[in-house]
Structure 1
Amino acid sequence: MKVLNQIYFTILLLILGLFSNSITAQKIENNGIHRHILKESYFRLSFDNDFFAHSDDNYTQGISLEIADPIFQKNPVNYLFLNYSENKINGISIEQAAFTPEVISSKEIRYGERPFAAALYLKSFQLNINHKKQSVLYSSLSLGVLGPLAYGEEGQVFIHEATGNWVPYGWRNQVNNDVIINYELNHEKKLFELSKFVTVYSDLGLRVGSLFTDASIGYTSTLGVFKSVLNQNQPGKFQLYFYHNPKLIVVGYDASLQGGLFNNSNPYTIPFNDIYKIKAQVDYGLVLKAGFLYLEYTRSFITKEFRTGTLQNWGGIRLGFKF
C-alpha cells in the first residue's frame, strides 16, 4: 500500500507539474507545510499584490496580520475544530482581500471582466500536528464582511494616490455588503523524501461558506534545508528552501465573483454558469528561517476563473517573528 501511495502521488506530481509554466494560489494563504512556524508564539505580516507581477487587476491586493500564542487555546471557537492530535498551535488573524477588473479607472461597469469586490474578516485557526502519522491538520473559521464595509476602495485609492497611479473610480460598482462565514480544513501528509534536501507532501483542502466553497487536491515539494513541524526534536534554527505547491480546485461558490449569499442586489456579478468549476493553481517561492526571523517571497498564478476572464498572477512577501 505504501508503494502504491508513492506511485499515485508521483503521477499526481507529474500531472500537476505540467501546469506550472502557465498557471499558479489561494488568496492570502498562510497555512501550508512550507509556511508553518516551529513555535507556539509568533507574529506574521503578509502582503500580496499584483504589482509584483507587473499587473493591476483580478486579485489585486491582500493583507494579513497573524498572531499565534497559547492564550488562544481558550478561544471558544476551537470547539468547532477537529481534535486531530494533542500537539496544537492556536491563533487569530485579520485579513483583507481586494479584487478588481482589468480596467480600474473607468466609472462604468466593465461587463465581461471581474467585478470590484473586497472582503475583510477575522480568522480563528488551529494547527494540529500528528508526529505519529506524519501529518498536520489546519482548521479555521472566518467571520467578517464583503463589500464597501471591507474598505477595499479606500485601501487601493490610498496606495494609488501615494504612488501616482491611476485612480480606481470603478469601486462605485463593487459587490454590495454581505456577511462572511467560512470554515476551512487543510490536511497535509509527508509522502516521501527523494533525498536529504527534497521532501514531498500531499495537500488536501476544503472550504465551505459564504465567501468561498471549494475543494482542492495537490502536493507541496520543498528543496533545500527544510525542517517542518513534523520533524520532532529537530528545531532547525537556520532554514533556506524553495517550495512548489500546485493544486487542482473544484469550485462550488465564489462570492468575489458572484456576490454574497444573503444580498442579491449587486450592480454587477459573474453568472454562475460562466464560472469555471475546475481551475488550477500553483504557488512557488523562497523561505528563509533564521533564529526568530521568518522571511518569504512568493509568486502565484491561477487559470481563468470564468469564461471571459484572464490568467492571473501576483506576488507576495511575508515577514514573521517568533517570541
Structure 2
Amino acid sequence: MTSSPLYRVGKACVVFALLFSYSVCLAQHLSHTEFNFRNDNDLYLFNKQDQYYTNGVFFSIRKTVDSTSLSTNEANRIWGVTIGQKMYNAYTANIRYIEEVDRPITAYLFLAANLDRYFERERLFSVTAEIGTIGQRALGKQFQESIHKAFRLYDIAGWQYQLKNAFGIDATTRYGGLLYRNPTQWFDISGQVAATLGLNHTGFAIAPSFRFGRINPLHQSVYTSSRLQVRGNTVAKELFLYYSPRLHFVGYDATLQGGMFLRDKGPVTHTPARWVWYNQVGMMYAKNALSLHFQYIFYTKEVPGMFFRHRYGSVGMGYRF
C-alpha cells in the first residue's frame, strides 16, 4: 500500500527533527566557539568616582583550530578576535581647569587578533596583533556622556583637554606555565611573562598566579581562556579564587604620552612611571557552556605626579556553543 504524501512529509519532518536535536546536543557537547564580554569600572567598588582608568568594555569571539594542525606535544590551540574600548580620566571626570589634569584624558579604541597555543606539560604561548587609536576618534567623550545620562549621573567636563588623535599597531607575545600543583590538586602556582612592542604600548611584565579551589589543568581552564577543546575533550567544572601580582615595565604608553610621532600630542601629556605594580584578586566559575569572572585590581601610580593610586572592579562572562 502506497503511503500518502502527507504521511511522507510528516515522516521526513520527524527524521529531520531527530537529526536536528542530535546535532544540537552534539554541538553543545563539542563546543568550538566562545563569546566573551568583560567590563572594567571603578563604580563596581561603590565609591562613586570616575577616576583614571574608569571604564573598559570588551567583546571577543574565540574558536578552536582544526585538530590536524596541532603539533605532537600540543594539547589545544585557539584563535580569537577582540574589539574594545578603554577610557581614561584625570582624578575626576569633572575637570574645570587644565591644572587639574594629573593624568592625561583619552579613550583607547582597538581591534586585536590572537593565537593561543597550549602544550601537554601545561605550558602556553600566545601572540597578539593589535591596532588602536587614542584621541577623539576613540569616542571616549560620547560614550561617557551617554553612560552618565542613562544613569542620571553628574555632568562630565574636561574632554577639551584630551590627547590628539593617533593610530598605532602593537604586537605582544606571552609565555607561561605551571610551576607547582599540590597532590590533591586544589592549589597551584603558575607564572607568565609578556612583552609588547609597538606605537601605542611598549613594555614587558612578569606575573605569578596563585589559584585556590576546584581547578583544571592550564590547557582546560577558564583562567587561561582554554575551556574550548580542539579534540572535544570533556572539561570539568571549575570554581576557584586567585591572586596574581604583576610587575610591569612601561617603555611607552600612548594614553599617557600621546601619539609617538606627533609634534602636538595634546594639551597635557605625562612621562609614565617606569615600574608599575599591580595586584589582582578574583573568583572564577565555569560549568558546561557558561563562565563567570569577578575581579578586583589595585595598582601603584602610573604617573609619579598623580594625586592618588587607583583601583577598580571587573566582571566578565563567557558562553560556549
TM-score relative to the length of structure 2: 0.79
Give the secondary-structure state (helix, strand or coil) at the position aligned to 1:69.
Answer: strand
1:265 counterpart SS class: coil
Say which SS state the counterpart of residue 193 (structure 2) adopts: strand
Question: Counterpart of 1:184 in 2: which secondary structure?
Answer: strand
Equivalent position of 2:314 in the other structure = 316
1:150 matched residue in structure 2: 138
Residue type of the partner of 2:295?
T
Distance 1:160 1:260, change over 3 A: same
Whichever of the two has the greater Rg, that structure is 2
- Pairwise mapping of residues 93-112 of structure 1 onto structure 2 (< 5 A)? 93-111=82-100
- Aligned partner of residue 138 in structure 1, secondary structure: strand
Find the aligned partners of 2:153 and 2:125 in 1 and give their Cα distance: 42
Identity of aligned residues (%): 23
- 3-state SS, counterpart of residue 115 of structure 1: coil
Within the alignment, does 1:257 sit opposite 2:248 as a pair? no
Asked whether 1:118 is paired with 2:107, we answer yes
Q: 2:296 aligns with which of 286, 296, 299?
A: 299
Quick one: distance in 1 between partners of 2:260 and 2:115?
A: 26
Q: Give the superposition deviation at 1:182.
A: 1.0
Task: Write the letter of the residue equivalent to 1:279.
Answer: V
Q: 1:278 aligns with which of 261, 270, 275?
A: 275
Counterpart mapping for 1:119-138 below 5 A: 119-132=108-121, 134-138=122-126
Deviation of 1:213 after TM superposition, in Å, equals 1.0
| Change in CA separation of 1:72 and 1:103 when aligned onto 2, cut-off 3 Å | farther
* Shift in alpha-carbon separation, 1:282–1:40, aligned structure 2, 3 A: farther
Q: For 1:34-183, what aligned pairs fall within 5 Å after superposition?
A: 40-53=32-45, 54=47, 55-70=49-64, 85=74, 87-111=76-100, 113-132=102-121, 134-183=122-171
* Distance in 2 between residues matched to 1:97 and 1:130, nearest whole Å: 32
Ranges in structure 2 where 5+ consecutive residues have no aligned partner: 1-29, 68-72, 221-228
Q: Which residue of 1 aligns with 2:210?
A: 221
Question: Given that residues 270 and 303 in structure 2 are in contact (C-alpha distance below 8 angstroms), is that contact kept between their aligned partners in structure 1?
Answer: no
- SS of residue matched to 2:91: coil
Query: 1:9 aligns to what?
Result: none
Corresponding residue number in structure 2 for 1:244:
243
Alpha-carbon contact 1:179-1:262 (below 8 Å) kept: no
Moved over 6 A (4+): none
CA RMSD of superposed structures (Å): 2.3
Deviations 1:121-179 (A, max 9, x none): 110011111114x2111211111211111111111111111212222221111111001
Whole-angstrom CA distance in 1 between matches of 2:261 and 2:58: 25
Q: TM-score, with normalisation over the residues of structure 1?
A: 0.79
Is the 8 Å Cα contact of residues 99 and 117 (structure 1) preserved in structure 2? Answer: yes
Amino acid paired to 2:43: F
Q: Aligned equivalents of 2:292 and 2:64: distance in 1?
A: 23
1-side partners of 2:135 and 2:153: how far apart?
23
> Following the alignment from structure 2 to structure 1, what is the Cα–Cα distance between the partners of residues 114 and 241?
25
Q: How does 1:6-25 map to 2 (within 5 A)?
A: none
Query: What are the superposed Cα offsets for residues 43-74 of structure 1, whole Å, 9 maximum, x if unpaired?
Result: 0001111111223110000010000124799x
Task: Please say if residues 72 and 90 of structure 1, whose CA atoms lie closer than 8 Å, have aligned partners that are also in contact.
Answer: no
Secondary structure class of the residue paired with 2:158 = helix
Aligned-partner Cα distance in 1 for 2:76–2:283: 27
Contact 2:96 2:157 in 1 (8 A): yes
Residue 236 (structure 1) shift:
3.4
Q: Taking structure 1 as reference, are residues 222 and 196 closer, same or farther at Cα in structure 2, changes over 3 Å only?
A: same
Contact kept in structure 2, 1:107 and 1:172, CA below 8 Å? no
CA distance in 2, matches of 1:159, 1:177: 22
> Are 1:47 and 1:62, in contact at CA under 8 Å, matched by a contact in 2?
yes
Q: 1 CA distance for matches of 2:32 and 2:123?
A: 17
Could you list the runs of 5+ residues in structure 1 that have no partner in the other structure? 1-37, 74-83
Partners of 2:299 and 2:152 in 1: CA distance = 28
Three-state SS of the structure 2 residue aligned to 1:153 is helix
Equivalent residue letter for 1:317:
V
Residue identity opposite 1:218 in structure 2: A
CA distance in 2, matches of 1:48, 1:39: 27
Give distance in 2, aligned partners of 1:218 and 1:308.
26
